[in-house]
Amino acid sequence: MKLISRQERFYWTKHVKNKMRYYRLSENRLKRVLHSPDRKELGIAPITVAVMQKAGTKKHPTEIWLMYQKDKAKTKIITAWRYPGISPKRQPPPIPEDILWQLNLNKGKVEIPEEYSKGKTSFLSCKIDLSKIVFIPRIETEFWVKKAIENLKKKQEKLNILDIFAGSGCIGIAILKNIKNSKVDFSEIDNKAIEQIKINLKLNKIPKENYEVYQSDLFEGLKALHHDGYDYIFANPPYVAENRIKEVGDSALAYEPKKSLFSGKKGLSHIRKFLKQARGFLKENGIIYLEFDPQQKKDIEKMLEKQEYSSFKFFKDQFKKYRFARVKK
């Protein structure tokens, strides 16, 4: 075991002191975990590290976890807990729910987004419940969905629409509320979002015959559907580049599901896969509305040319930044 350097200064938060009492953990015990961990992971809060040391017995294994933040001057111990059993590998640290919430309240610096503390928001006059902590709808999305709905209103025929990467379901619900004669399929990979979409459909009193909800990795779960394809596909995929993590707001990073934000090094993994597959799910003159990061415009243009979409146009959001594309099959 490594010796603890005498110079090392520790700062114990009020929160961790409470937890140490609760879990009967001493400062020395936690310092041992810190200096001889059996596992080390990125913490959940920004710029934190979580470490674990095995404890208990062979018959009744447990783990002692602690989360800390280190700078030149000190090591700040943020929280600690005991995990009963052996936590799954290659997954984020198994932080107890109560600690997550208590940290939210005590963090101060990283404020919980208002939409989560209220548990709801609105999107184009639709009520959007967010109690399942899914991606918070953004005003940039609201801006382009409003424009798209204005176009859809000009159509007379019944429209078959897909809201893929649906999150809270805000896009599809706004369409169903505004476009009579539309049927929307919602598709999402995340369990919590699936529950959230169903809650929001009820909340907005959408008749059951006007929608279906599918749990699906991109188009995977939609392959078995037998229809002539969609008239419209609406997509707001995760598109934040992993190397631009610093530009993501602290509260988004701390609270919003990571899989709703990031998409590989340049933020283009989901968009690339989506554009490859989407053509096969569109009707002959079908249209895609796609949201992206303004910096990705050129890369997306190349992808669209490569995939031989017949025409496409890029549009700016209310902040004069390229934010969405309208693409024809």
Ligand X SMILES: C[S@@+](CC[C@H](N)C(=O)[O-])C[C@H]1O[C@@H](n2cnc3c(N)ncnc32)[C@H](O)[C@@H]1O
Task: Determine the Cα angle at 213 with ends 204 and 296, to 5°.
Answer: 95
Kindly indicate which of the ranges 32-40, 41-49, 92-100, 160-168 contains the residues binding ligand X, using the contact rule CB under 6 A: 160-168
Shortest Cβ 98–ligand X spacing (Å): 25
Shortest Cβ 77–ligand X spacing (Å): 32
Shortest Cβ 140–ligand X spacing (Å): 9
CB-based contact 315:292 (threshold 8 Å): no
By CB under 6 A, what part of segment 232-291 binds ligand X?
236-238, 259-260, 270
By CB under 6 A, what part of segment 183-242 binds ligand X?
188-190, 193, 217-218, 236-238
CB atoms within 10 A of CB 75: 16
Token pair listed for 184: 């929307």
Shortest Cβ 252–ligand X spacing (Å): 11
Closer Cβ to ligand X, 48 or 187, answer by number? 187
- If binding is defined by CB under 6 A, does position 38 make contact with ligand X? no
Q: Output the residue with the shortest Cβ distance to ligand X.
A: 167
Shortest Cβ 197–ligand X spacing (Å): 9
Kindly indicate which of the ranges 6-14, 31-39, 112-120, 164-172 contains the residues binding ligand X, using the contact rule CB under 6 A: 164-172
Q: Which of 16, 50, 171, 184: binder of ligand X (CB under 6 A)? A: 171
The residues facing 183 across adjacent strands are 160
CB-based contact 43:93 (threshold 8 Å): yes
Binding mask 129-148 for ligand X (x = CB under 6 A): -----xx-x---x-------
56: left (phi over 0), alpha (psi -120 to 50) or beta: left
Token pair listed for 101: 């919430």
Q: Which of 144, 165, 292, 309: binder of ligand X (CB under 6 A)? A: 165
By CB under 6 A, what part of segment 40-99 binds ligand X?
none
Please report, for residues 25, 89, 134, 167, 313, the alpha-carbon distance to residue 137 in angstroms, rounded to integers and kept in the order given: 41, 32, 9, 8, 23
Measured distance CA(308)–CA(313) in Å, rounded:
14
Phi first, then psi, for residue 238 (nearest 5°) are -65, 130
Phi first, then psi, for residue 311 (nearest 5°) are -155, 160
Could you tell me the end-to-end alpha-carbon distance of the chain, in angstroms, rounded to an integer?
63
Which residues of the chain form contacts with ligand X (CB under 6 A)?
Answer: 134-135, 137, 141, 165-168, 170-171, 188-190, 193, 217-218, 236-238, 259-260, 270
